[in-house]
Structure 1
Amino acid sequence: MENKSFDVIIIGGSYAGLSAGMALGRSLRNVLIIDNGKPCNRQTPHSHNFVTHDGKSPKEISELAKKEVEKYSTVQFYEGTVLKIVQNNNSFEVETSTDGKLYSKKIILASGIKDVMPDIPGFEECWGVSVLHCPYCHGYEVKNEVTGVLSHGDMGYEFSKLVFNLTKNLTLFTNGSSHLSSEQLEKLKQNKITLNEEEIEKIVHDHGQIQKIIFKNGNSVSLKALYAKIPFTQNIKVTETPGCELTEQGFIKVDFMQKTSVPGVFACGDNVTMMRSVANAVAQGNFTGAMVNKELCEEEF
């Protein structure tokens, strides 16, 4: 790479990062987008709830987006991994896995998150295919089917409300004690939502399409779809590099302009919100690119 210094380095080249890159490219900013080519939805066959792209594969959408961003000559791409970000006065030094150190005035963290899979055989293979994270992204395609929710406590109860809107043939699987209150249990009973507290042994599937859940006691339940809330981690160590504050839920804390707690560092996409969707990431990226350009304009005027 000939150029080592940029106005903005965007870490993450999926939907939020590409959208921010387009906004900045159209503002004549010298931009580098760094991506390792491993989006969290890489095995999801179809993306929904994004007008003009409903039903396309995530890969198809991102490839089209990249082609459009590549038209802007001031935007460059680099395939690799960021190892460290160091703030030096009013600029940043970004250390990469293969191309040494790069420099920029501003940083956008569009690096996404990494889902932490439970220790249930078959779960990971079904994740994003028939084990789903979002009823808005995937619920219509499995409406009125035999469906489950894998969660417990308040999260399991609230998630069940959303899924119940799409199917009345619903079971809440808590994989052990439900941790539900007597009022919550009564509400589930009133709505004829089955509660299953048996511990799960494995998920039987056919190329990611869930067939049934096998429990440790030998029982089994057939399903068409299973929604799940699972933990996550940030893809880069933002609390150490570059020292961004996180929310209680583990997201990067940003203000209304997508600014993090570190001056000059912005963030957008799945790493800042529980609303994980392609449409939301694109919207956030577009807005963040505009805010970064505005800050640069203010500093240069």
Structure 2
Amino acid sequence: MEQSSNADVVIIGGSYAGLAAAMALGRALRQVVVLDSGRPCNRQTPHSHNFLTQDGEKPAVIRERALAQVRRYPTVQVVADEALLAEKAADGFRIATAGGRHLTARKLIFASGIEDLLPALPGLAACWGISVLHCPYCHGYEVHGQPLGVLNNGDGGFVQARLIRNWTPQLTLFTNGPSTLTEAQTRQLHAEGILVEESSVQAVCHEQGKLCSLALANGAEADLIAVFTHVPFRQQSELPALLGCRVTATGHLEVDDWQKTSVPGVYAAGDATTPMRSVANAVAAGTRAGAFVNHELLGL
């Protein structure tokens, strides 16, 4: 059944950045609709860290608590639905959803996140966010001092290995095939006590997402507690690109200090905009986006 409604702001994405923006706008008495497709980037991560007052809490618990608090503001609606179309209109933007809703909004905020493109390495997907990790600031403390790995190569592997070395003296860089490190980089890693393993990784061996070892092509198994790696990603929503929002060289939505995109009236916040992926950063950026959308609505 089709439903139509008007709002000051439509927020596409109902995780931490989207809900933070909704709270800021609800407190500014704005009519807000949050569209949430229910696919947060960290849905497999058991605990959130490095977020004051919430350190070690389950991400789903933080979101449910945030959702309950946002829903106290009567001008905010949070709807389980997915935006399929967003286009410019004379008075702002028109949005159509998978559930048959047709919305108009004066401003848009994308808090739609990203989708990690995991390599087809057996066992890796099951461990992603649990023991195959992307951020040492989010997860490094919990595995510090234990045998860790970095799955990367070249300049990126060199930098990431040196970063993770801060958390453990027991570190191996797995280049997953011939190393593309320079001789100087290899010498520096060895000088810092970091091993370099060039044998290809065949599988991530685990028990319910908890890493046991990496199985290597040479027949060896490297016993590890966790592995840090970088994987490619894409924007969870194609709508910013269809509206003409610019992206950075890294593939993130380009925003200014106030979370404005390159398209007037369109803001963005959260993982879609930055490589600094954490709940704390998402909340901060969402709050900033909500506040400055309200400023723009007031003509300030």
In structure 2, distance between residues paired with 1:217 and 1:178: 15
Match of 2:87 in 1: 86
In structure 1, distance between residues paired with 2:86 and 2:3: 20
Amino acid at match of 1:118: P
In structure 2, distance between residues paired with 1:239 and 1:108: 10
Match of 1:254 in 2: 255
Q: Output one character per residue of 1:185-211: Cα deviation in whole Å (capped at 9) or x when no partner.
A: 110010110011111111110000000
Give the 3-state SS of the residue equivalent to 1:61 in structure 2.
helix
Match of 2:281 in 1: 280
Give the 3-state SS of the residue equivalent to 2:164 in structure 1.
helix
Q: Output one character per residue of 1:95-146: Cα deviation in whole Å (capped at 9) or x when no partner.
A: 1101232110000000000000111010000001011110000100000000
Match of 2:267 in 1: 266
The alignment status of 1:106 with 2:107, answered yes or no, reads yes
Amino acid at match of 1:186: R
Displacement of 1:38: 1.3
Structure 1's 264 and 87: CA in aligned 2 closer, same or farther, altered over 3 A? same
Give the 3-state SS of the residue equivalent to 1:241 in structure 2.
helix
Give the 3-state SS of the residue equivalent to 2:140 in structure 1.
helix
- 1:60-209 paired onto structure 2 within 5 Å: 60-209=61-210
- The alignment covers a number of residue pairs equal to 299
In structure 1, distance between residues paired with 2:278 and 2:71: 23
Q: Is the 8 A contact 1:33 1:78 kept in 2?
A: yes
- 1:29-40 paired onto structure 2 within 5 Å: 29-40=30-41
Q: Is the 8 A contact 2:110 2:240 kept in 1?
A: no
Structure 2: gaps (5+ residues): none
Q: Is the 8 A contact 1:239 1:246 kept in 2?
A: no
Q: TM (normalized to structure 1)?
A: 0.97
Amino acid at match of 2:107: K
Match of 2:46 in 1: 45
In structure 2, distance between residues paired with 1:221 and 1:125: 18
Displacement of 1:297: 0.5
Displacement of 1:3: 5.6
Q: Superposition RMSD on alpha carbons, in Å?
A: 1.2
Amino acid at match of 2:174: F
Q: Is the 8 A contact 1:244 1:253 kept in 2?
A: yes
Which is further off, 96-105 or 31-40? Answer: 96-105
Q: Which runs of 4+ in 1 moved over 6 A?
A: none
Displacement of 1:172: 0.6
Equivalent pairs: percent with the same residue?
A: 47
In structure 2, distance between residues paired with 1:76 and 1:104: 13
Which is further off, 275-284 or 172-181? Answer: 172-181
The alignment status of 1:293 with 2:275, answered yes or no, reads no
Q: Output one character per residue of 1:260-290: Cα deviation in whole Å (capped at 9) or x when no partner.
A: 1111000000000000000000000001100
Amino acid at match of 1:243: G
Give the 3-state SS of the residue equivalent to 2:243 in structure 1.
coil
Amino acid at match of 2:67: K
